[in-house]
Amino acid sequence: MAFEMVGVVGLGTMGAGIAEVFARAGIQVAGVEADEQALARGRAHLERSTGRALDKGKLTPAEREEILARVTLTTSRADLRDADLVIEAIPERMDVKAELFAELDRLCKPSTILATNTSSLPVTALAAATGRPDRVVGMHFFNPAPVMGLVEVVGTVVTDPGVRAEVGDLAVRLGKTPVEVDDRAGFVVNRLLLPYLNHAVTLLDHGVAGRDDIDNAMKLGVGLPMGPFHLLDLIGLDTAYEIMNVLFDESRSDRHVPSPLLRSYVAAGLLGRKSGRGFYGDP
């Protein structure tokens, strides 16, 4: 498939980043949000991110304009009718996502591949909400999407292997490395990463070491770009908590019990960068 036009539904941090990745690869993008206010936030994300690249001399003003011009922002899902692929990046609510997939299935041409960027919900359940389960995949990007080099390509028991391969090739065209994963809780990255992050919160909770010392230990001792608390703030504490719950639901293993301290932060609305305060940030 040529992938000349793609749709991105949901232009939060992940959706806007994904739209930028497609536009940078020369692909036309229709970015869809629920209302004008959300659309304006999506536009601001795109302008900020490409503006930063411009300031650093990574893009010329003309290249930046071309990238932005490739993204059409709209509140009408009907504009996705002719997309070759639509990727969904809306909040992680199964009922809302399933409804969206059913609608995309009705709206889009029969050959459209429907993809989800979910990090915690079963792709199989979304496929089952459509009349084309063989053309539904997970296409899981990492935050920040324009920077991180991986895409997990998630296939279900009913995904057409050809579709999985086409989406893998598309990821390569985007400058990413695809890894093929089956539809199991957490896929590869979150299944390995989240128990580690959760464990860091347990160490803090038990007074084994302080926040900054744990972050420095993992940054300087292991060579990670960010310590666990900075990374939790980037991912979003609510997202991290949700993924731990999904891992626990599938495994019923003590290893996956979400930290009570993490739960408390989420209950208090301290969600990390998206809310202005998490483990870091001004009180």
Catalytic residues: 119, 140, 152, 190
- Other beta carbons within 10 Å of 147: 11
- What count of other Cβ atoms lies within 10 Å of the Cβ of residue 111? 12
Tokens coding 135: 């053309």
Sequence letter at residue 18: I
CB of 231 to ligand CAA, least distance (A): 6
Closest-CA residue to 191 (of 115, 125, 271, 255): 255
Query: What is the smallest separation between the CB atom of 237 and ligand CAA, expressed in angstroms?
Result: 11
Q: How far is the CB of 189 from ligand CAA (least distance, A)?
A: 6
Query: Any contact of residue 109 with ligand CAA (CB under 6 A)?
Result: no
Q: Which is nearer to ligand CAA, 83 or 194 (CB)?
A: 194
200, 231, 246, 247: which one contacts ligand CAA (CB under 6 A)?
Answer: 231
Q: Which residues within the stretch 44-63 sit at the binding site for ligand CAA (CB under 6 A)? A: 49, 52, 56, 58
- 127 φψ region: left (φ > 0), alpha (ψ -120 to 50), beta (else): alpha
**Residue whose C-alpha is closest to residue 85's, from 201, 164, 195, 175:** 164
Nearer to ligand CAA, 80 or 197 (CB): 197
CB of 280 to ligand CAA, least distance (A): 13
Alpha carbon 281 to chain centroid distance? 23
List interacting residues with ligand CAA (CB under 6 A): 49, 52, 56, 58, 119, 142-144, 146-148, 189-190, 225-226, 231, 235, 239
